[in-house]
Amino acid sequence: MNENQAGSAKPFDPFEPFRGVRDAYRDSMSKTMIDAVNSEDYAQTTGAMLDVYLTASALFREALEKSMVQALQNLSMPSRQELAALAERFTSLEMRLYEMDAKLDTLGNLLLATSQMTTPAQRKSSAASAATRTASHATGAAPRSKKRSVSPSKSSRKASASKTQR
């Protein structure tokens, strides 16, 4: 039994009392700081210090920003605003490409459906309507569903050109 008692007993640690004092100090300081931070006086004091800091740092930030823009211009490099505008334009182009891709997919599906029609009469009818649409786009004629606005100067030129051809 002596071996069990000797094996279960903890060895002497000279720093154990210091750990106890440290833990007690930490707990008491934690409670004190929580009470101090949760007080109204602390909130007002911290708010006043932050206002002073933000006011002072705003002046330095503006001066730094002006000097940075000037340095970038001297080095022929783009500024943050120019890069942001460029990124916006790239995003717009990307969205347009996605829209065009979707429209091309739709056209491809329509062409596939047209080519799988069973009767030659249906194919000829579909091809004729597609040719009409293609011809109207090639000549600049307006599609039937959309009205095209023509300025008075263009319409008067067309009218005079048709009179001279007669």
pTM above 0.85, yes or no: no
Evaluate if residue 147 carries a pLDDT over 90: no
The rounded distance, in Å, linking the Cα atoms of 86 and 79 is 11
Q: Are 69 and 79 in contact (CB under 8 A)?
A: yes
Q: What percent of the chain has pLDDT over 90?
A: 47
Q: How does pLDDT run across 75-125, given as a tens digit for each residue?
A: 999 988 999 999 999 999 999 999 999 999 999 999 888 888 766 666 666
Q: 36-73 pLDDT, tens per residue?
A: 899 999 999 999 999 999 998 999 999 999 999 899 99
DSSP state of 9: S
